Amino acid sequence: MQSNFLLGALTITESARLALKRQPFDLIARHAVNEHGLISDAEACENERSLRTLGPIISRYRSDPTNKRSPIVTILTKELWGETLIYID
């Protein structure tokens, strides 16, 4: 597996850590290889553009993929790819 962009420094909020009950390495890996989960078509287009312009890249996943009511975890690599934030929407 090879990342398609730099992740920079990783930061996970306490609420995301509590919702996931673990470190989200699998979700970070999916984000890094452009498997962005539950994003809109507009966000997918913006992610594609951002790969060429060092813009922000977003992914969203259910904290528990077996429970449609579980919180959504967002992974956002910020513009210029110096930091990636993992948080609950």
The pLDDT of residue 1: 57
Could you report the per-residue pLDDT of 42-74, keeping only the tens digit for each? 999 999 999 999 999 999 999 999 999 999 999
Flag whether 13 is in a domain: yes
In the chain, the number of structural domains is 1
Question: CB 46: neighbour CB atoms within 10 A?
Answer: 16
pLDDT above 70 covers a percentage of the chain that reads 98
The Cα 48–Cα 45 span in angstroms is 5
Flag whether 63 is in a domain: yes
Flag whether 4 is in a domain: no
Flag whether 21 is in a domain: yes
Flag whether 2 is in a domain: no
Flag whether 71 is in a domain: yes
Across the range 8-15, mean pLDDT stands at 96
**Whole-number average pLDDT of the chain:** 94
The angle at the Cα of 21, spanning 16 to 26, to the nearest 5 degrees, equals 80
The pLDDT of residue 32: 95
